[in-house]
Amino acid sequence: MKKHLIQSHHSLFRMLFLAVGLLMGTFLNAQDLTSGLDYQFTFESEDAGVVTDVVAGAGGTLTDGAVIGVKDGLNVLTLSGGAANTNSPYFSFEQAVGDKIHSYTDFSISCWAYLNSKATWARIFDFGSSTDYYMFFTVSNGSSPRFSFKNGAGTQEQQINAATPLPLDTWVHLVVTLEGSVGKIYVNGVVDGQSNAFTLNPSLITEAFTQNYIGKSMWPDPFLDGSVADFRVYNRALTDEEVLSLAWSRLPEELTTAYQNLTVEGIEEVSGNLTLPLADGNVTIDWASSDTTIIDSLGNVTPPEKYDITVILTATLSMEQDGIVYTMTKRFDAFVPASTEAADLIAQWDFAEEDLDFSNPDSIKVTDVSDNGFVGRLYNDAKIRTIGNTTQYNVLDLGNGTGYFDMGQDFGKEIYLLGDYTISAYYLVQEENTDISSNGNFIWCISNTDDIDVDRNGAMIERLLDHRFSITPTIYGGDQQQINPGVSPANTAGWKEKWHHVLYVQNGSVGTVYIDGNVAVTGSITNLPSTSLKKAGREGTWFNWIGRSCYTADVYLKNTLVYDFRLYGKGLSEGEIQLSSPFGIGLDVYNVLDELNNAYDENKNAGFPEELNTEKDALSLGDLSAVTSDLTLPAEGILDNTIKIRWSSAPALISEEGVVTRPDYLDTDVRLTATLIKGRFRTDTTFVATVLAKEATKYTSDLLIHFNFDDANVSGSTVTDLSEQHFQGTLMNGAGNRTLKGVGTSFGVLNLAGDSSYFDMGDEVGKVIYALKGHFSISTYFMVDAAKTNLADNGNFLYAFSNSDSSSEKRNGYIFGRASYKTYNIAADYWGGDQIGTAGGELSTQGEWHHYAYTQDDTLGIVYFDGVAIDTATIKKWPNTDVAKAGLLGTNYNFLGRSNFWSDAYLAKAMMYDFQLYNKTLSPSDIETMASLVDIDNSDGIALAYMLSVPVKETSVESDLRVDTSTPGLIRILDLKGNESVHVYNLVGRQMTVRNAESISVNPGIYIVKVDSQVKKVLVK
């Protein structure tokens, strides 16, 4: 029986279509929707939880509360999952279905879906074997649907991302197709995301599809919360017309006929007010406009003043039949010419010599070559470089730090006027760029804010990692639209050190990304700068950058060259992109790429003035081995006074003018860098100055930091260290101190009981870190409770000294040591610095005290664990030379029990004791002596004190049970009759072997003796 798609009056059936031409109803009805159909699950019946498809008789199982039923007249699979994963229903296909899908090269998968909620990463389907081998379709990647392939750990996921978020509480038709390298996502019959760059298909996944689901992910992701109907699998790619026919199959013929017949005269080039039809028989039509200042909902037109614009008119067609309301929406692109003619080229920066202004060497100005003459500025370490000998090109060099190019707010005024547009740039990423896979790396970022996490008011960006274009009126999330080629050229061999071209074109509601002159991905983008970025009270975007992100935690685009950035007020055609034009519009991408690569291969840095090197060689500051007073730092060249010199220091103890701030505590080496500038050329040279510490603050011993958590050192949440400086740290998030009492001894320990407890050593100790050079040592004790379940997770740091509390984003240096895998790591920026220890090896034993130490002896680093050297390596990075940064006096984030990577696990459910940092290299015998405290045989040690101090829950230490432990290594239970149940446990719950209850051999330690219902805690020496 044919089912109608029924919607309640408050949840109408909405379908979104682009103007794809008039399709006759007879043509749609003629589509063959059975050819290539391998499976169709209609969910009409079940047998003992098994649902069979109506084509091949293949089965699937209703699992964990999944049910079938009827919703709005449709037979449906109902899955009541959700973000919290408290419910976990799903549908699992039999193996034959996975095997069949795994054999495909081309395919289509379609269904109807009704979403009650839309948890990120909840799946429509997931086919594969694991989290490394799969193909899945999710309802939300954080904003919109995504289809993904992956073929093995370490490989790049290939994706299609839809542009439009899915609606809730209404039926939506979804289709994914793959044909050769072209993949598409259809939403309600219309392509909403497309990639032309797939190199994977199901048959190329190298592991069998053994886990195949509707509503469930192979990751610990949320389960689908909603209903699925008419799930189909084809062994071919459906055509656009066939997908449209599927989406229309359940609608009244009068409604689809009205949809096909609906037209708007004159929208190809609007020259006056439009007539918008309001009805067609029983079908009513309501209108909405993407920009009511140009075309309002009644069809009245006010032409834009400067640039042509495409306004999206959306018609909502509605009709009622048998008490059921059906609706469809149809979109029209209305091209509205500007009232005055403006040049297509809005801005072009090619960085030619005649457009450069070096009057202020700290902020080089560059004028664009369009008629607008916008003036941009280089900031920080961005500079202009020349490449080539035969033919030379000036290019923007973004440097190796925080360099970027600001196109200015006048340029931003043009952004607010854009409907159709094109943005284009050439770029080359150098081998030195090791951060290209990080968040950020935007070749352009055009935004209303420089901190979009706080001021969520819109941006559009192009990211080089995957060439993703996105535009949002707020922030990354539900209202963002994006198109993504789904592959990462950044991870492709040979991609670096070659010139490439990236271009985004907006034509009506269609966005396209071109890479190197070829279409990479196209999709629906309805967020336009003139409608989505325009903000009341502003004339344009304020922050318009090349190489910098409006997300403050993102990395800058480092070690990258940029050439010929352009903005057009029209959508260029493919021919205009690829070919030259006698009218000056053609980009001629292929030839320009060849010329740029030839020039770069010929000379990567041409025209560099030799006088800069001569001046650099002549620059001298005299003896800097014991600096106590201000320095004279020349501001211009001695041999050539047209050369300007700028100074910076790390740590920030010497100002640009040479004013010296003597450090507290330790003599400190300062890297004093001179930047010599002549025109657009610059070069650096570095001096090392040892700035002597203030006499009143200098250490007299080598013990620099010593946090002991005895009660005498703790006042409220403040802990005072025992070094000469008496640094004060703070117990955070429920961290506390505790006393472990041993045999005549006691130990004050840091108790990290909570999941986010840690100890903040304070900013002041960071100054000590910036002074550490080739000889230092770190020592501490720790114990991780046996109940801790995430010791293997990232994080679980014993200590961290860092310039950032979010080093995965603000990548500016740190040192840390881990409790889990016993490692030491130092990095000047991010993960991948020098590391030694047992990374990824055996975890530390839980429930036992351990000693950790690291020693640095020039370039020799050693990690010790429980007194034994477990790893040695050449460590050439030191805190003073690699962690110390310009503008800072020391590390600002200094933790015990917390990572400097925000997403990492805290050490938690652990104790620490006696953290010490020395300004010398401790000897192996020193370390061995320290480690003896964790030896259970040491009656004065912390291990024995811990066992004596551990409470015995739900037992009475005082008991009538008589136990004799006077003989070392033996437990004797007295007064036994011979029929008792006898058990002996250690403090981590391990049961000891009891062969003779009157003489039980054990190692020294604390034990729980249980005879029937009587319990006693005993100490065995």
| For residue 401, pLDDT beyond 80 | yes
Residue 251 has pLDDT above 90, yes or no: no
> Mean pLDDT over residues 213-240, rounded?
95
Read off the pLDDT band of 68 (50, 70, 90).
very high
Could you tell me whether strands 16-17 and 37-41 are parallel, antiparallel, or unpaired per DSSP bridges? unpaired
Q: Which of 9-13, 798-802, 867-871 is predicted least confidently?
A: 9-13
Q: Report the range of poorest mean pLDDT among 103-117, 311-325, 450-464, 622-636.
A: 311-325
Q: Which regions of 465-542 does DSSP assign to beta strands (E)?
A: 468-472, 481-483, 499-507, 510-515, 518-524
User: Hey, what are 554's tokens?
Assistant: 């993102």
Is a pLDDT exceeding 80 seen at residue 5?
no
Q: Are strands 365-367 and 356-357 parallel, antiparallel or unpaired?
A: antiparallel
- The pLDDT value given to residue 829: 82
> What are the domain boundaries of the chain?
33-250, 254-336, 345-602, 625-696, 699-947, 953-1020
Query: For residue 180, what is the enclosing H or E element?
Result: none
Gap between the Cα atoms of 463 and 469, Å rounded = 7
Terminal Cα-to-Cα distance of the chain (whole angstroms): 83
- Amino acid 498 reads K
From residue 125, how far is each of 128, 145, 229 by CA, in Å?
10, 12, 13
Q: What is the pLDDT of residues 84-137, one digit of tens each?
A: 455 789 999 999 999 999 999 999 999 999 999 999 899 999 999 999 999 999
Tell me the torsion sign for CA atoms 1015, 1017, 1019, 1020.
Answer: positive
Query: Out of 27-41, 730-744, 851-865, which region has the weakest mean confidence (pLDDT)?
Result: 27-41
Check whether 156 has a pLDDT greater than 80: no
CA distance 244 to 246: 5
Residue 746 clears pLDDT 80, i.e. is over it = yes
| CB-CB contact of 797 with 817 (8 Å) | yes
Q: pLDDT band for position 201 (50/70/90)?
A: very high
Q: Is pLDDT above 50 for 418?
A: yes
- Has domain 699-947 been given CATH number 2.60.120.200? yes
Poorest-pLDDT segment among 28-37, 42-51, 550-559, 775-784: 28-37
Q: Domain 33-250 adopts which CATH fold?
A: Jelly Rolls (2.60.120)
* 794 token code pair: 């990232």
Do 194 and 182 contact (CB within 8 A), yes or no?
yes
Nearest to 305 by CA among 504, 584, 572, 569: 569
Q: Which CATH number fits domain 345-602: 3.30.160.270, 3.30.230.10, 2.60.120.200, 1.10.1040.50?
A: 2.60.120.200
Q: Are strands 324-336 and 16-17 parallel, antiparallel or unpaired?
A: parallel
Per-residue pLDDT of 547-582, as tens digits, reads 999 998 788 999 999 999 999 999 999 989 988 755
Share of the chain above pLDDT 70, in %: 93
Sequence length of the chain is 1021
| Calpha distance 921→871 (Å, rounded) | 16
**Where do the H-state alpha helices sit in 5-61?**
25-29
Stronger pLDDT, 110 or 310, i.e. the higher one: 110
Q: Residue 822 contacts by C-beta under 8 Å, 6 or more apart in sequence?
A: 837, 838, 841, 844, 852, 863, 865, 870
pLDDT at residue 734 tops 70: yes
Asked if domains 345-602 and 699-947 share a fold, the reply is: yes
Over residues 880-895, the pLDDT tens digits come to 999 999 889 999 999 9
How open is the CA angle 57-189-112, to the nearest 5 degrees? Answer: 40
Q: What is the mean pLDDT of the chain?
A: 89
- State the pLDDT at residue 304: 87
pLDDT single digits (tens) 352-372:
999 999 887 777 899 999 999
Question: Average pLDDT for residues 649-678, to the nearest whole number?
Answer: 94
SS3 171: strand
Instruction: Give percent of the chain with pLDDT exceeding 90.
Output: 64
pLDDT of residue 835: 86
pLDDT tens digits along 988-1008? 656 788 888 888 988 888 887
Question: How far does CA 177 lie from the centroid of its chain?
Answer: 28
Whether 391 and 599 have beta carbons less than 8 Å apart is answered as yes
Q: Which of 18, 33, 15, 16 is nearest to 522 (CA)?
A: 18
Q: What is the pLDDT of residues 947-979, one digit of tens each?
A: 777 664 433 344 678 889 888 989 999 888 888
Are 414 and 347 a contacting pair, CB within 8 Å? yes
**DSSP secondary structure of 444-465:** EEEES-S-TTTS---EEEEETT
Letter string b/e over residues 175-213, b meaning 16 or more CB atoms within 10 A of that residue's CB: bbbbbeeebbbbbbbbbbbbbbbbebbbeebeeebebbb
Q: How far apart are CA 415 and CA 532, in angstroms?
A: 11
Read off the pLDDT of residues 265-302 as tens digits, 9 standing for 90 and up.
Answer: 999 999 999 999 999 999 999 999 988 889 999 999 99
Q: In the prediction, which pLDDT does 935 show?
A: 86
Residue 102 · residue 81 · CB < 8 Å: no
Per-residue model confidence (pLDDT) at position 20: 34
Reference 230, options 85, 410, 71; nearest CA is 71
Q: For residue 29, what pLDDT band results from cuts at 50, 70 and 90?
A: very low
Residues 665/599, Cβ–Cβ less than 8 Å: no
State the amino acid at position 711 in one-letter form.
D
Neighbours of 393 (CB within 10 A): 22
952 CB neighbour count, 10 Å cutoff: 13
Structure tokens at 946: 């811990």
CA angle 212, 225, 141 (to 5 degrees): 75
